[in-house]
Structure 1
Amino acid sequence: MTKVLIAFYSRSGVTEALARAIADGAAAKGAEVRLRRAREFVSAETMALATGWAEAAAAMNARHAAPTEADAEWADAIIFGSPTRFGGVAAELKAYIDSLGGLWFQGKLNGKVGSAFTSSSTVHGGNEATILSLFNPMAHLGLVIVPTGYADPALFRAGTPYGASSVSWNEATPPTADDLEVARFQGGRVASIAGDLAAGRANAARDAAIDEAGRESFPASDPAATLV
């Protein structure tokens, strides 16, 4: 079974809604999915400055565990999700990505699939820029980056060719039906490609083991024996 980690940050629940749709798309392809929400590291006083922030965070934290290094090692595919923050990834999710340095150093993330999604408050709030900024650490981690492309008709109505997205119009408006359709497609696409890559690695390892067993069973002949 293909294993998919969706590590996201969401303040009001908009990005969470996209994450859940991506999870549905991956699960529909038979994948085992872990949904994980990155945690705040700002003070309670800071969170209190934004109405509803603390309450929404508590509710989402009750639904989703925090992402861990073990989650990333477990996964065949890692899908990062973040709202735009001044045209880039939220610090909460970036802190999780930065925590993966140990796995990076050991090469344990090489060859896993990576993908990204986002949401913004305004139409030109940085959706594409945020997803593209997430491709940079994916490349450093050794992930095989899988965008949505225009591989499904839904991409001509919503989202971006880089990943699913939505606009909340400064009112935490939930993703549209088209936004969610793109997200489900992205989850399914990532799960399918990750499954193909994992199967290819398994087959290669099996073939290598068979070759090694064959060499041990039939050692090279003594060159002198061929002269008899």
Structure 2
Amino acid sequence: MTRPKILIAFYSRNGSTEELALAVAEGARVAGAEVRLRRAREMVGPEIMAMAPGWAEGAALMNEKYEAPTAEDAVWADAIIFGTPTRFGSIASELKAYIDGLGGVWFQGRLNGKFGGVFGSTSTKHGGNESTLLSIYNVMAHLGLIIVPLGYSHPALFKAGTPYGATFISQNDSQKPGEDDLAVARYQGERIALLARKVVDAADESTSLSA
């Protein structure tokens, strides 16, 4: 049985979105998936990063842990799960820059039919979590991904997250994701990985029958 391949491409500055990404990866691995965790890179120079205390240091630490996402990663994957903090109710420019760089493989049709999901975080209540996730639904549709919402298909979703994907509110970076938030994220990774596995298994069976 072939393991489904999951790309988790995310951007995180202060660690909240990173923690969700790790939980998504954990859930996907529980479902038997091979996971690539990739962090999008900053688009500004050190002089801008220096204006926000801890930004440069945090970025350096995370960049040591995670490779930058590539177009090859997206082609490799059976499912792509994007993670982003909210920026004025929409996607962070760092992650959007990575997605915009997928134009070549998109044009070749190499992303069509892959599963897609999204998760995110924001600093404040009503800070745009749902609008951010929904804005990426538009992007995933253009890429040709099969969008996988969560609905209310798990008990954890009655305590945290959204029907569109896992979310977290950091209260101006004073809090870290709790168990309810992480449970939704783990479920999201598991749910998408299980769907991808069904497709991979069907493809393997079809290949075997035609051999």
- TM-score, normalising length from structure 2? 0.96
RCO higher in structure (CA 8 A, sep ≥6): 2
Mapped partners of 1:202, 1:191: distance in 2: 16
Query: How far off its partner does 1:198 sit?
Result: 2.2
Mapped partners of 1:85, 1:172: distance in 2: 18
Task: List per-residue Cα deviations over 1:58-109 (Å, max 9, x = no partner).
Answer: 0100110000011001100000000000000000000000111111111111
- Matching residue of 1:43: 45
- Matching residue of 2:164: 162
* Alignment partner of 1:174 out of 170, 173, 176: 176
The structure with more radius of gyration: 1
Query: How far off its partner does 1:137 sit?
Result: 1.1
What does 1:135-154 align with in structure 2 at a 5 Å threshold?
135-154=137-156
Q: How many equivalent residue pairs?
A: 209
* Alignment partner of 2:64 out of 62, 65, 70: 62
Identity value in percent: 61
Q: Is the 8 A contact 1:115 1:145 kept in 2?
A: yes
- Matching residue of 1:117: 119
* Alignment partner of 1:24 out of 23, 26, 39: 26
Mapped partners of 1:31, 1:174: distance in 2: 26
Q: Is the 8 A contact 1:84 1:126 kept in 2?
A: yes
Mapped partners of 1:151, 1:63: distance in 2: 32
Q: Does 1:190 align with 2:203?
A: no
* Alignment partner of 1:80 out of 73, 79, 82: 82
SS of the residue aligned with 1:140? Answer: helix
Q: Is the 8 A contact 1:36 1:64 kept in 2?
A: yes
- TM-score, normalising length from structure 1? 0.89
Query: How far off its partner does 1:197 sit?
Result: 1.8
Aligned-CA RMSD value: 1.1
- Matching residue of 1:129: 131
Unaligned runs of 5+ in 2: none
SS of the residue aligned with 2:167? Answer: coil
Q: Is the 8 A contact 1:9 1:90 kept in 2?
A: yes
Q: Is the 8 A contact 1:12 1:172 kept in 2?
A: no
- Matching residue of 1:89: 91
SS of the residue aligned with 1:136? Answer: helix
Q: Which amino acid aligns with 2:172?
A: N
- Matching residue of 1:213: none
Task: List per-residue Cα deviations over 1:178-207 (Å, max 9, x = no partner).
Answer: 000000000000100011122233444555
Query: How far off its partner does 1:18 sit?
Result: 0.1
